[in-house]
Amino acid sequence: MRSSCKVAQSGAVLATLSLLCLAHEASVLDDSSGWSNYSFPDDFIFGVSTAAYQIEGAWNEDGKGESMWDTYLHEHPDFTADRLNGDVATDSYHRYMDDIQIVKDLGVKYYRLSISWPRLLPNGTDNNVNNAGAKYYRTLFEELIKVNITPVVTLFHWDMPTALMDLGGWSNPLMVDYFVDYARVAFKLYGDIINFWTTVNEPHQHCYNGYGSTIFVPAINSSGVAEYLCSHYILLGHAKAYRLYDTEFRPYQKGKIGITLDAFWGEPKDANKQEDRDAVETYLQMHFGLYAHPIFSMEGDYPPFVRERLDTYSEYEGFARSRLPTFTEEEVKALLGSSDFFGLNHYTTYLMSPSTMEPGWKVPSLEHDTRVKLEQHPKWPKPGADWLTVYPPGFRKLLNWVTNKYGRNVPIIVTENGMCDHGQIDDYERVSYYNKYLYQLLLAIHTDGCKVEGYFAWTLMDDFEWTDGYTAKFGLYSVDFNSPNKTRTPKLSAKNYRGIVKSRRINFDSFKSPISTYL
């Protein structure tokens, strides 16, 4: 199709014919060659994301307190795949100017990063502010702003101060107030120059992996109980921090603030089976609606389906109360509408079907409560991590699901998306992943009418990837962890992303692999 149009154009026989060809070309262009037929709006937010514990290092410098990741990984070195931790990481505490330089080189105008709670408040509580930590973030934010990059600041990206984890972390209702105290300190210190905040990153991953199992620190492993306590109090902490900002700081600081939620997409294992299609819906409600419904729905509170299910199961299991705590009317109201945008992290898609029990499921547990079996499509590429297969259309479907469920009241901002491989500089698979996922985002905007206003790539540079240590490489930039300077080197995907940000379009041919890849 394309080549025949080119022939006609070069023949320059008829202007109309060539116009027709252009129009035709635009309509047939798929997501694998040439320029994308759609472009990103001029005011579309392009950014890149990181998180404190994954990059800062300097775990015990200048008065910083320990986070639960520091403490736990020092005591349990076997917890991570390579027995390494975030003590040094990419050394961004000292090399933040290098980070700013590469963010700038990408051409993005937004940089999403997080504050380490214990770097600012060593004991977690606001009676003791660490001046050196406070100054570090102030300098970092100011330097970013100097070069026209807007910092997008996350308050909690999983590094709970150890002193507060010792009190039970998010399973303790008092954590809500401690978090609000911390938020107040941050708004006071930085609100004059920061106008884009997120409260909590991926409460689902944090609570499920950290409280309901042993996948993440704090590895409490109180499945089916602590994960819902964590969900409950983290949601309340978010809502209270939002209300604090809204009433006391927004009137003169004029910023926006929201939450970041994460979701896998689900495809029915057998698209012809209604029960498999239902399983997808059940999964999304239990793992994602649990957090989204209280904030973004019209009526608020937990999804009725989830409420009923947890109450019923808990009673059947002999619990005196539902394992899912209950919000008061006031709390329902505080949560409702407590986010100026829908921060969404998305990486991958699973095949789903119903199941009452699978090996490895505990009773009770979120998996057993959900009763949906997750499998991976054998044909979808798996470039690096076990959990991450590539299925770009899942992204568009998720954006539509969010839009249909929660309306168009608030814009969606994709706060993370990306993939991991083994760290090669010529990362053709990552180029292809970003091109294809971003193309799905364009389709969601232009053909489906989803209100997606921003996109942040995960992540700026190879970093400490939690349980995977340094074995999983998600960066647009490679980091030489053996070099004293932790040298950052752009991968092809960085150059490709820079091209997209600059042109506001995707050129699928820019960095095509010379050998055909499976992606």
**Within 13 Å, how many C-alpha atoms sit on residue 104's CB side?**
12
Query: Which residue in 70, 91, 227, 416 binds ligand GBH (CB under 6 A)?
Result: 416
| Residue in the shown chain whose Cβ atom is closest to ligand GBH | 387
- Point out the residues that are catalytic: 416
Which tokens hold the place of 242?
A: 């939002």
Interaction pattern, residues 291-320, with ligand GBH; x per rule: CB under 6 A: ------------------------------
For the CB of residue 416, give the shortest distance to ligand GBH in the complex, in Å.
Answer: 6
Tell me the closest approach of the beta carbon of residue 421 to ligand GBH, in angstroms. Answer: 13
State the nearest-atom distance from the C-beta of 419 to ligand GBH, in Å: 9
The CB density around residue 347, as the number of other CB atoms within 10 Å, is 24
Q: Where is 434: in which H helix or E strand? A: helix 428-446
Choice from 44, 319, 387, 481 touching ligand GBH (CB under 6 A): 387
When binding is defined by CB under 6 A, the residue of 391, 458, 470, 511 that contacts ligand GBH is 458
Residue 385 neighbours by CB distance under 10 Å: 18
Binds ligand GBH by CB under 6 A, chosen from 37, 85, 201, 353: 201
List CB contacts of 329: < 8 A, sequence separation 6 or more. none
Cβ–Cβ under 8 Å, residues 206 and 264 = no
Place of tokens 């983290």: 234
Q: Does 8 bind ligand GBH (CB under 6 A)?
A: no
Is residue 455 part of the contact set for ligand GBH (CB under 6 A)?
Answer: no
The answer to whether the beta carbons of residues 349 and 265 sit under 8 Å apart is yes
Nearer to ligand GBH by Cβ, of 313 and 437: the residue is 437
Q: Does the footprint of ligand GBH cover residue 214 (CB under 6 A)?
A: no
From 84-92, 198-206, 229-237, 428-436, give the range in contact with ligand GBH by CB under 6 A: 198-206
Closer to ligand GBH by Cβ: residue 345 or 435: 345
Whichever of 345 and 353 has its CB closer to ligand GBH, that residue is 345
What is the spatial distance between Cα 7 and Cα 18, in angstroms, rounded to a whole number?
10
Tokens 């101060």: give the residue.
161
Cβ proximity to ligand GBH: between 250 and 488 the closer is 488
Minimum CB separation of residue 343 from ligand GBH in Å reads 11
Q: 120, 182 in Cβ contact below 8 A?
A: yes
Q: How far apart are CA 232 and CA 223, in angstroms?
A: 15
Using CB under 6 A, which residues numbered 21 to 80 contact ligand GBH?
51
**Smallest separation, CB 213 to ligand GBH (Å):** 8
Q: By rule CB under 6 A, what count of residues binds ligand GBH?
A: 14
262 or 340, CB closer to ligand GBH? 262
Among 81-89, 197-205, 235-243, 316-324, which window interacts with ligand GBH (CB under 6 A)? 197-205
Q: Are 328 and 335 in contact (CB under 8 A)?
A: no
- Distance, in Å, from the CA atom of 205 to the CA atom of 262, rounded to the nearest integer, reads 8
Q: Which of 18, 205, 376, 503 binds ligand GBH (CB under 6 A)?
A: 205
Using CB under 6 A as the binding rule, whether residue 389 contacts ligand GBH is answered as no
Only segment of 98-106, 120-128, 200-208, 446-454 that touches ligand GBH (CB under 6 A): 200-208
- Pick the stretch among 5-13, 201-209, 325-333, 439-447 that binds ligand GBH (CB under 6 A): 201-209
> Which residues lie closer than 8 Å to 482 by C-beta, 6 or more apart?
none
Q: Which residues contact 331 (CB under 8 A, 6 or more apart)?
A: 236, 239
Nearer to ligand GBH, 117 or 327 (CB): 117
465 belongs to the binding site for ligand GBH (CB under 6 A): yes
Q: Which residues contact 221 (CB under 8 A, 6 or more apart)?
A: 212, 213, 214
Q: Which residues of 450-462 are buried (b: 16+ CB within 10 A; e: fewer)?
A: bbbbbbbbbbbbb
User: Distance from first CA to last CA of the chain, Å, rounded?
Assistant: 23
- What are 455's strand-pairing partners? 46, 414
Among 88, 215, 219, 244, binds ligand GBH (CB under 6 A): 215
Which stretches of 193-328 are DSSP H helices?
203-210, 226-244, 250-253, 274-284, 290-296, 304-316
Please, what is the minimum distance in Å from the beta carbon of residue 52 to ligand GBH? 10
Query: Do 149 and 141 contact (CB within 8 A), yes or no?
Result: no
Binding to ligand GBH by CB under 6 A, coded x per residue (else -) over 339-368, reads ------x-x---------------------
Q: Check if the beta carbon of residue 311 is closer than 8 Å to that of residue 325.
A: no
Q: Which residues bind ligand GBH (CB under 6 A)?
A: 51, 201-202, 205, 215, 262, 345, 347, 386-387, 416, 458, 465, 474
